[in-house]
């Protein structure tokens, strides 16, 4: 039955057994009567790209940091004409985004001058500013590495006493606050370049749509493909290591080792000169390229390669398997660059005047200059620094558990970040006085209840949107990143929950392919993917690149033309259809499917 609108945030019922979920999170992320007026004016979408899972309380921290940063840089720093920023709400523990527009035409016109001056300065000095940005990010990451949580001793060491150092309670508490501060610094830098990077692409996109009314979104995107960015470097290192192992005659040692024992292979490879040479290359690649999360890096349970070497070793083994059959493991970078120049030349020749051709070239060059940042920032913020941050937090959990302040190390993540700061003051001041932590039993009970609530919410399916549906979805970010289109919204309003034998989505990466499907619901299932299968998943993360190197095609539930999934599939030359909405609930592992990345169509060939 068709509905006129989606529920408002305050109308979404709480699943049975999850009553009281709201107390886990800061009040301003929860719908309350005084926020209803604002909430009613906005159209909300479930942020399944960055936040597909229920938020364990501490895991709101990255979302807190990016939430304030994206709105600040949109509305206050670069003064983007038509947008103020993004409002956020947690509904049953899942994050929803409401895009806040600028609606007054006169105000939009006033904001244009601010944006042109400020963004224009960045565009003019992009390369210089971006190099400064990289050095600043590496500096913050180095500062994070220097922080350390240490167990509190029975007495202060005498060398510290005689050196007049501040006490260990201060250091412990300050370390947490300094760590949180670095996360907020990182996300401030994260959005310094990101929105205006997208804006440059959107300007080129708009020019093409006006000049060439029949041009497809994919064709425009392919004109900026063929980027060589740091985000792909970890996977490139694995390809190099696989090639080196193959050249050194070590292939059979890798292929004969079961996947779950590959880390043990590292202890035996040193018995030959060839093995020692390979191990030296492996060690050299680790820092920083193995500081790469198996997921998005936004959740505490996303493990990085450096913390579980079986993850990169399994990919190296897959690449070796391909090399032994004569296949290339290189990314088709030159092919993509030749193709983008061919497409650009074809469309340039269609323009009627030299002035328009010059404008086309200028906008294209700017888009290509700024576009690498759209992917590269992920490595610095979510992966490299994220690995260090979550390592620190796991160490903190172990210290608190060993001291008897919490039952298990993982319980630390059932505090939200602001509750944990207060608890750490309780912990350090109780240590100073020599008494038990005052809140231990209270928090033991609250954490136990929170675990019950989280377990219930994990089984809840978030509604895709909230609020009054617009007649036309026009926000470019909603369309290009999340794949939320007018047609898709109408399907959701009609209550459609499946796609049948034919699914439609965004034609993200060109090519037509047939093969067996492999349905993967999260990064923990990636090891099940076999060479030659078609990956079907809710969404991919940037770190899934190694998996894309061995599949024939990709189909996702979520995402638009400029989502990470779409960009990475184009860069790896893998046919893809994204934003189908129903792929993981319609397709079963083993079914034969056809993926048409030219038209955005997926067909189930056998029932």
Q: What is the pLDDT of residues 196-236, one digit of tens each?
A: 999 999 999 999 999 999 999 999 999 999 988 898 999 99
**Confidence at residue 546, expressed as pLDDT on a 0 to 100 scale:** 85
Q: Per the domain annotation, does 99 fall within a domain? A: yes
**Confidence at residue 561, expressed as pLDDT on a 0 to 100 scale:** 92
Structural domain ending residue among the three candidates 468, 491, 521: 468
Residue 294 token pair? 């198996």
Mean pLDDT of 518-529: 89
Residues 44, 116 within the same domain: yes
| 3-state SS assignment for residue 98 | strand
Residues 6+ apart with CB under 8 A from 225: 336, 337, 339, 340, 570, 571
Instruction: Count other Cβ atoms within 10 Å, centred on residue 590.
Output: 11
On the question of pLDDT at 579 being above 70, the answer is yes
On the question of pLDDT at 1 being above 50, the answer is no
Share of residues in the chain with pLDDT > 90 (%):
82
| 3-state SS assignment for residue 279 | helix
Structural domain ending residue among the three candidates 334, 350, 367: 334
Q: pLDDT band at residue 496, thresholds of 50, 70 and 90?
A: low
Residues 323, 425 within the same domain: no
Q: Per the domain annotation, does 493 fall within a domain? A: no
Residues 511, 417 within the same domain: no
Residue 390 exposed, middle or buried by CB count within 10 Å (0-12, 13-18, 19+): buried
Pair 313, 403: CB distance under 8 Å? no
pLDDT tens-digit readout, 248-300: 999 999 999 998 899 899 999 999 999 999 999 999 999 999 999 988 899 99
Where does 459-554 have alpha helices with state H?
A: 476-480, 486-493, 545-548
Residues 259, 318 within the same domain: yes
| CA-to-CA separations, 388 to 142, 192, 230, 300, in angstroms, rounded | 10, 22, 18, 11
Q: Per the domain annotation, does 219 fall within a domain? A: no
**Confidence at residue 2, expressed as pLDDT on a 0 to 100 scale:** 52
Residues 308, 185 within the same domain: no
Q: Per the domain annotation, does 370 fall within a domain? A: no
Q: What's the chain's average pLDDT?
A: 94
Residues 159, 33 within the same domain: yes
Count of the separate structural domains present in the chain: 3
Q: Partners of 516 in the beta sheet? A: 592
Residues 256, 187 within the same domain: no
Residues 582, 462 within the same domain: no
Mean pLDDT of 552-566: 92
**Confidence at residue 3, expressed as pLDDT on a 0 to 100 scale:** 65
Residues 120, 167 within the same domain: yes
- Quote the domain boundaries for residue 323: 230-334
Q: Per the domain annotation, does 314 fall within a domain? A: yes
What distance in Å separates the CA atoms of residue 106 and residue 109, rounded to the nearest whole number?
5
Residues 444, 505 within the same domain: no
Q: pLDDT band at residue 497, thresholds of 50, 70 and 90?
A: low
On the question of pLDDT at 4 being above 90, the answer is no
Q: Per the domain annotation, does 212 fall within a domain? A: no
Mean pLDDT of 99-113: 95
Q: Per the domain annotation, does 52 fall within a domain? A: yes
Residues 444, 531 within the same domain: no
Residues 464, 581 within the same domain: no
Which of 359-363, 558-562, 594-598 is predicted with the least confidence, judged by mean pLDDT? 558-562
Q: Per the domain annotation, does 484 fall within a domain? A: no
Mean pLDDT of 381-407: 97
CATH number at residue 536: 3.50.30.10
Structural domain ending residue among the three candidates 287, 309, 334: 334
Mean pLDDT of 398-413: 98
On the question of pLDDT at 50 being above 90, the answer is no
**Does residue 288 have a cis bond before it (omega within 30 degrees)?**
yes
Sign of the alpha-carbon torsion through 371, 571, 592, 597: positive
């Amino acid at each position: 039955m068709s509905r006129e609108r989606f529920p408002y945030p305050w109308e979404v019922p709480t699943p049975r057994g999850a009553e009281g979920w709201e107390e886990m999170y800061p009040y301003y992320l929860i719908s309350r009567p005084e926020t209803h007026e604002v909430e009613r004016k906005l159209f909300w979408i479930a942020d399944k790209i960055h936040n597909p899972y229920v938020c364990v309380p501490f895991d709101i921290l990255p979302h807190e940091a990016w939430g304030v940063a994206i709105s600040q840089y949109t509305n206050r720093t670069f003064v983007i004409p038509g947008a103020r920023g993004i409002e956020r709400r947690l509904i049953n523990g899942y994050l929803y985004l409401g895009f806040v527009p600028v609606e007054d035409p006169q105000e939009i016109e006033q904001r244009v001058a601010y944006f042109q001056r400020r963004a224009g300065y960045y565009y003019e000095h992009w390369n210089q500013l971006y190099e400064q940005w990289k050095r600043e990010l590496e500096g913050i990451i180095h500062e994070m590495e220097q922080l350390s949580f240490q167990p509190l001793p029975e007495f202060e060491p005498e060398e510290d006493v005689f050196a007049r150092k501040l006490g260990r309670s201060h250091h412990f508490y300050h370390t947490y606050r300094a760590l949180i501060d670095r996360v907020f610094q990182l996300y401030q830098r994260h959005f310094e370049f990101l929105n205006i990077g997208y804006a440059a692409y959107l300007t080129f996109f708009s020019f093409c749509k006006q000049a060439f009314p029949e041009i497809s979104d994919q064709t425009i995107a392919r004109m900026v493909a063929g980027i060589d960015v740091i985000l792909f470097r970890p996977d490139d290192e694995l390809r190099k290591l696989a090639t080196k192992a193959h050249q050194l005659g070590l292939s059979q040692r890798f292929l004969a080792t079961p996947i779950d024992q590959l880390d043990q292979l590292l202890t035996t490879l040193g018995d030959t000169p060839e093995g020692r040479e390979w191990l030296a290359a492996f060690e050299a690649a680790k820092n920083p390229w193995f500081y790469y999360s198996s997921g998005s890096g936004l959740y505490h349970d996303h493990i990085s390669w450096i913390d579980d070497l079986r993850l990169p070793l399994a990919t190296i083994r897959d690449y070796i398997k391909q090399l032994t059959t004569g296949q290339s493991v290189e990314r088709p970078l030159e092919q993509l660059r030749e193709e983008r120049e061919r497409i650009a030349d074809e469309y340039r020749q269609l323009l009627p005047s030299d002035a328009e051709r010059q404008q086309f070239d200028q906008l294209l060059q700017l888009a290509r200059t700024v576009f690498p940042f759209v992917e590269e920032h992920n490595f610095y913020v979510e992966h490299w620094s994220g690995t260090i941050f979550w390592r620190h937090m796991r160490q903190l959990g172990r210290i608190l558990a060993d001291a008897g302040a919490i039952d298990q190390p993982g319980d630390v993540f059932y505090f939200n970040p602001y509750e944990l700061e207060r608890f750490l003051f309780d912990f350090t001041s109780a240590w100073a006085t020599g008494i038990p932590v005052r809140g231990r039993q209270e928090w033991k009970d609250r954490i136990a209840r929170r675990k019950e609530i989280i377990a219930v919410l994990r089984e809840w399916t978030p509604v895709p949107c909230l609020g009054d549906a617009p007649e036309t979805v026009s926000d470019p970010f909603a369309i290009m990143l999340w794949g939320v289109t007018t047609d898709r919204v109408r399907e959701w309003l009609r209550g459609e929950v499946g796609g049948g034998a034919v699914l439609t989505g965004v034609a993200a990466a060109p090519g037509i392919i047939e093969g067996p499907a492999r349905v993967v619901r999260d990064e923990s299932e990636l090891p099940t993917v076999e060479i030659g299968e078609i990956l079907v998943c809710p969404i991919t993360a940037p770190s899934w690149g190694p998996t894309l190197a061995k599949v024939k095609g990709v189909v996702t539930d979520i995402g638009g033309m400029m989502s990470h999934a779409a960009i990475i599939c184009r860069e790896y030359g893998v046919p893809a259809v994204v934003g189908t909405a129903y792929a993981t609930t319609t397709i079963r592992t083993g079914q034969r499917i056809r993926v048409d990345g030219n038209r955005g169509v997926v067909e189930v060939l056998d029932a």
